[in-house]
Amino acid sequence: MAASSHLTVALNRAEPFSGCNSLPSLIGLSTRFGKSRLLLVRTSSWRSPKRTLVVRNVSSEPTQKLKDPVADEESATGASTFEPDSSSIAASIKYHAEFTPLFSPDRFDLPKAYFATAQSVRDALIINWNETYELYEKLNVKQAYYLSMEFLQGRALLNAIGNLELTGAYAEALSKLGYELENVACQEPDAALGNGGLGRLASCFLDSLATLNYPAWGYGLRYKYGLFKQKITKDGQQEAAENWLEVGNPWEIVRNDIKYPIKFYGKVVVGSDGKKNWIGGEDIEAVAYDVPIPGYKTKNTISLRLWSTKATTEDFDLAAFNAGEHTRASEALASAEKICHVLYPGDDSFEGKVLRLKQQYTLCSASLQDIVARFERRSGANKKWEEFPEKVAVQMNDTHPTLCIPELMRILLDLKGLSWEEAWNITQRTVAYTNHTVLPEALEKWSFELMQKLLPRHVEIIELIDEELVRSIVSKYGTEDKVLLRGKLKELRVLENVDLPAAYSDIFIEPEASSIITSASNSVDDKNSAKLVKSVDGDETDEGNDELESKNKSKNIQDKKVKLIPPPPPPPKMVRMANLCVVGGHAVNGVAEIHSEIVKDEVFNAFYKLWPEKFQNKTNGVTPRRWIRFCNPDLSTLITKCTGSEDWVLNTEKLGELKKFADNENLQNQWRIAKRNNKLKAAAFLKERTGYTVSPDAMFDIQVKRIHEYKRQLLNVLGIVYRYKKMKEMSAAERKEKYVPRVCIFGGKAFATYVQAKRIVKFITDVGATVNRDPEIGDLLKVIFLPDYNVSAAEILIPASELSQHISTAGMEASGTSNMKFAMNGCILIGTLDGANVEIRQEVGADNFFLFGAEAHEIAGLRKERAEGKFIPDPRFEEVKDYVRSGVFGAYDYEEMIASLEGNEGFGRADYFLVGKDFPSYIECQEKVDEVYRDQKRWTRMSILNTAGSYKFSSDRTIHEYAKDIWDIKPVELP
C-alpha cells in the first residue's frame, strides 16, 4: 500500500456563496471517510477571507498497525477526528458546493445541493475504490469482466449512501443545510445507459459483485442521449433526446490516460514477417469514464467503465475549416462521436446498421484492449499467455458483445504473436455467453458483406472459426449420411449461406453419371424429339418440326427477345452471432429453468448434442438492496422485526422465515398499513406525472415493461375494455357489487420504429382518456399510462403494487426480472407459465399466484391449428373487438391493430401471440382476482407469502453461481 500523503491547499475568497451564512463557524473540523481526512482549519468566522484546507490521505497495509501521523498532527493542532457524522458530512457538502463548482456561486438551490452531496459521497467511494483495485493489483487475482450494451442503473445517490450505511447521517446533514434528502435525491436524473431488463440485470449483477467482494468490472458505452425520452401526446408516444448529461454527471471520472485506438474499414496485408496487418481505414479513440459501484456493508467498490468515442486532434482539418468548409473539417469528429450518441440507433437504413455494428465493435475492442493491458501490467516480467484464462473471465451479456471473440483472437494473433491453436484455446477458455431469447428468429445476425467491409480482419478470423466448426461437425457425424451432415452444417455453421471452406468443398459433390447412360439418354432424346414446349410468344409448338426448328435456329432467335425468368437472387450471406458465441465460449447459460430447457431442446439443440457440457442454467436475480431495503423502507422494517435482524438484506434465505407469520393478525395489519403508505406515495407521483387522481383504496394493478407484442400489453388493455363495457351495461349498484375498484397502470417504451407497439401505447392512452373521464365509472376503474418509465419510477410503483401482470405468450419470455421485484415487495402476480414465472410460482405456492393461459409446449400446436383454420374465437373476444371498432375510444383508426388478431396466416395477422386464445382464460382469472381481493385477510396472507417465497431470486445467489460454475473466481475482501 502507498505511504501516507499530505496535501495542503491555501484558498482565499472574499465572500462565501449565498445560502450557507447560517452555518456555524467550522474550526478544526475533520471529515473522515475511510482512511482519508478532510481537515478544514479556520482562523476566524466563516466570512473570514483567509482559509486553509488541509487534505490528507493515509493508507497502510491491512494487516499492520501503524502509527497514524494524521491523528498525531490533528492532536497537536487541537483538531479532533471521528467517523462521518452529520456535521462532518455537512462540511464536506459545503466544501464541494464552493470549491468543486458546477453552478454559479450566488445560490445554493436544489440542483447545486444534489451535485455537492453526490461529490461528497464520491469522495468516500474514491478512497474505497482505489484501495479495492490496489488490492486486486497487488494480489493479481482472477477477475470477471461483464460486457453489456446496457446498464440500467437508476439513481445512484440513495443507493450509494445506503450501501455506505450513511443514509441517516446524510439526511441530518442536509437538514442542517435546509433541505430534505428525498428532495435532493430527486434532482438526480436516471442514467440513460439502458432500456429494459437486460440492462437492469447487468446493474443488479454489479451491485451483487461488489457486495459479495468478488473481483469484477463492468464494461459498457457512455450514451450521450440514451434510448429516448418518452412523451405522451394526443398522437401517442413521441420520442425526444434524453438530456441526462446536460449538466454533467457527478459520479463519473474521465480517465484521460486510458484510451485505446479503434479501427474501421481499411484492408488486411501480410507483412514481411508473415503476420497479418490491418491498415488504413478510419481510426478513432475510445476514452474511459469510470463510475464507482459500492458494495453493501463492505469497503469493496468496483468499477463500471464506460467508453466514449472521439477523433484524434490530427483528424481535424484546419485548412478546410479556414477555407470555410466547416462541416468537412469536422467530419471525422462527428463520425467518431455519433457512435456513442444513442442506444440502439434505428437500423432500418444501411447507415443505421453500420452505426450499430460500430457500437458493438467499440465496446468489444476497447474493453478487450483494456483487459489485455491489465493482464500484462499485473503479470510484469512473468507474463505467460496460457495463464490468461486463469486471470480473466469475460461474460457476454447477450449477443451484442459477440465480437469479443474475434477481437481477442486478433489481439493474440496479430499483436501478441501467438499461434492459431494457442489463441483459440485461450479465447474459448476465457469467454462465456448468456442467452436472453427463446426465439431462433430473434438471434442476432449481421450481413457478411457489411462486416467484411467494416471489419475485414475479423471476417477472416470468423471464417477460420467457421472452418474449425465444420471440422468438428464432420468429425462428429462423418460423411456417410449426407442428408444428416448437410442439415447439421446448415444449422450449426457461423456463416449462413456461405460456401463451405475449401478443404470441405467437395463433400457433397456427387460422382458424374456413367458415359454409357449419358449416351443412351442422348440417343433416346434424339429419336423422340417431338417434344411439346412453349414458344417465346407462348404458343405451343412441335420441336420435332424441321421447318420450325430451322426458324428457331436462325431468324427468330436473332429478332426476338427471349422472355427468360431470372433465377431468384441468392440468399444473403450472414454471420450468425449466437452461433459464434456458442462456438467461441466455454459456457452458455439460459436465465430461467424453462428458458434453459428451451435453449437445449430447441434454440441450440444441435449444439447441445455436440457439446452438452457447455450448457447450464443461471436463473436471473435482482438486488434486495435497491429493490426492498432502499425503495421500501416500511416493508423492510417489518421484515427486520419478524426475522430479528437485517441479515436478510445479505442472506435473502431469511425472508423464508416470514412464512410462519403469514397468519399473524398484527403483522397483517402492519403489512396493509405499509402497503397503503406506498400507495399514497405512488398516487401523488402519478398525479404529478399524469394529472390523473387515483384512489389509494383501489387495487393497484400494474404492468410496467418494454412495450412488445409478445409481452401482451394488448391482452391487458383488451381485458380492461371488456371490464369497462360490462360496467357500462350495469346499474351503479350492480357495478359496485360486481367489481373491485382498480387503478390499472402501464409504463414502458415502444421502440421508435416498432409501429404496432406504438399503436398499443396510443390505444392504452385513448382507453384511459375515455374511462378516466366517465362519471358513471368514477373510482371503480382508472387507466393510467406513465410516460418515460424508468428505474426511479419503478422504485415508487413496485412497493405500491398489489397485482402485477406478467402475461407474455408462454415460451417467449426468457426470464424477466420485474416479476421478481414485484414478488419481493409483496405483490401478487397474474401470469402465464413463462420465464421465471414458473419458478416464482413454485416458491411462493400455486395458491398465491394467479395462473392462466396456454403452456409453452402447446404453443406450436395452437399456431398450427390457427393456420389450418380450426381456431374458433371466444364470443367475448369478438365482442371486445367489435366494441373497439365502434369508435367509443375516439376517432383513431385501430383497424390494423385489431386485424393483427384475425385471419389464419400472414405477416402481422393470425394472432401470432395468441391473445385471442388466452383471452377467455385471462378474464376469468381476473374475476378470481376480484373475488380474492375482497377478502383482505386472505390477500394479505398471499402478499406475505410472496415476499417470503422470493428469497431465491436475489442476484447474490445468481452471482455466486456464476462465480463458481463459469468464472472460477473467489471473493477478495478489503480489511
Domains of the chain: 85-139+155-189 (no CATH), 633-953 (3.40.50.2000)
Grouping H, G, I as helix, E, B as strand and the rest as coil, residue 74 is helix
pLDDT for res 16:
32
User: 816: buried, middle or exposed (CB in 10 Å: 19+, 13-18, 0-12)?
Assistant: buried
Q: How far is CA 211 from the centre of its chain?
A: 20
Count CB-CB contacts under 10 A for residue 63. Answer: 6
Residues 461-477, mean pLDDT to the nearest whole number? 96
pLDDT tens column, 257-296:
999 999 999 999 998 888 899 999 999 999 999 999 999 9
Give 180 or 560, the one with higher predicted confidence: 180
Measured distance CA(285)–CA(258) in Å, rounded: 10
Out of 188-192, 376-380, 514-518, least confident range = 514-518
Of the candidate ranges 497-511, 610-624, 795-809, the one whose mean pLDDT is the lowest: 497-511
* Catalytic site includes residue 947: no
pLDDT at 100: 87
921-948 pLDDT, tens digit per residue, is 999 999 999 999 999 999 999 999 999 9
Residues paired with 745 in a beta bridge: 702, 784
Cell of 3: 505511504
Direct distance between the N- and C-terminal alpha carbons of the chain, in angstroms, rounded to an integer: 13
Most confident residue range from 47-56, 68-77, 329-338, 687-696: 687-696
What is the structure's pLDDT at 561? Answer: 52
Average pLDDT value for residue range 306-323: 90
Q: Provide the whole-model pTM.
A: 0.87
pLDDT at residue 547 greater than cutoff 50: no
Q: Which of 37, 358, 711, 806 is catalytic?
A: 711
- The answer to whether the beta carbons of residues 560 and 535 sit under 8 Å apart is no
pLDDT band for 907, please (50, 70, 90 cuts).
confident
Predicted confidence (pLDDT) at residue 830 exceeds the cutoff of 50: yes
Q: What is the mean pLDDT of residues 674-696?
A: 98
Q: Choosing from 155, 706, 762, 841, which is the catalytic residue?
A: 706
Mean pLDDT, to the nearest integer, of 647-651?
97
**What is the C-alpha separation between 482 and 100, in angstroms, rounded?**
71
Taking CA atoms, 421 is separated from 242, 425, 427, 458, in Å, by 46, 6, 10, 17
What is the predicted pLDDT for the residue at 18? Answer: 35
Which residues, at least 6 apart from 864, have a Cβ–Cβ distance to it below 8 Å? none
Catalytic residue status for 705: yes
Q: How far is CA 257 from CA 216, 316, 370, in A?
A: 21, 21, 12
| Residue of 309, 817, 832, 958 marked catalytic | 817
Q: Is 176 a catalytic residue?
A: no
More confident residue, 329 or 37: 329
Distance CA 938, CA 930 (A): 12
Using the structure block, give the residue that is written with the C-alpha cell 493542532: 77
Average pLDDT over residues 725-747: 97
Q: What is the pLDDT of residue 683?
A: 98
Q: Cβ(615)–Cβ(589) under 8 Å? A: yes
Whether 436 is catalytic: yes
Report pLDDT for 523.
43
pLDDT of residue 575 exceeding 50? yes
- From residue 149, how far is each of 51, 199, 749, 784, 894 by CA, in Å? 47, 8, 17, 31, 35
| Of 314-323, 497-506, 780-789, 903-912, highest mean pLDDT | 780-789
pLDDT value for 586: 98
pLDDT of residue 313: 85
Nearest CA to 940 out of 623, 683, 638 is that of: 638
CB neighbour burial string for 631-664, b if at least 16 within 10 angstroms, e if fewer: bbbbbbebbbebbeeeebbbbbebbbebeebbee
Mean per-residue pLDDT over the chain, rounded: 88
Write the pLDDT tens digit of every residue in 87-140: 999 999 999 999 988 888 888 999 999 999 999 999 999 999 999 999 999 999
* Candidates 410, 759, 762, 821; catalytic one: 821
Provide the 3-class DSSP secondary structure of residue 8: strand
Q: How far apart are CA 678 and CA 633, in angstroms?
A: 10
Q: What pLDDT does residue 892 have?
A: 94
**pLDDT for 5-32, tens place per residue?**
333 333 333 333 333 333 333 333 334 4
Q: How many CB atoms lie within 10 A of CB 436?
A: 18
- Residue 62 scores a pLDDT above 70: no
Bigger pLDDT: 555 vs 895: 895
The pLDDT value given to residue 568: 87
> Quick one: cell of 339?
457512435
pLDDT-above-90 percentage for the chain? 79
Q: Does the pLDDT at position 41 exceed 60?
A: no
pLDDT at 103: 87
Query: Beta-strand (E) ranges in 761-884?
Result: 781-786, 803-806, 828-831, 850-851
Query: Is 817 designated active site?
Result: yes
| Residue 222 annotated as catalytic | no
Identify the active-site residue in 56, 222, 374, 705: 705
Q: What is the 3-state secondary structure (H, E, C) of 465-510?
A: HHHHHHHHHHHHHCCCCHHHHHHHHHHHCCEECCCCCHHHCCCCCC
Q: Which three cell numbers stand for residue 789?
A: 418509465
Q: How many CB atoms lie within 10 A of CB 681?
A: 16
How large is the average pLDDT for residues 660-666? Answer: 97
Task: Convert 440-469 to b/e letters by CB count within 10 Å (16 or more is b).
Answer: eeebbebbbebbbbbbbbbbbbbbbbbbbb
Helix (H) or strand (E) run with residue 310 in it: strand 301-310
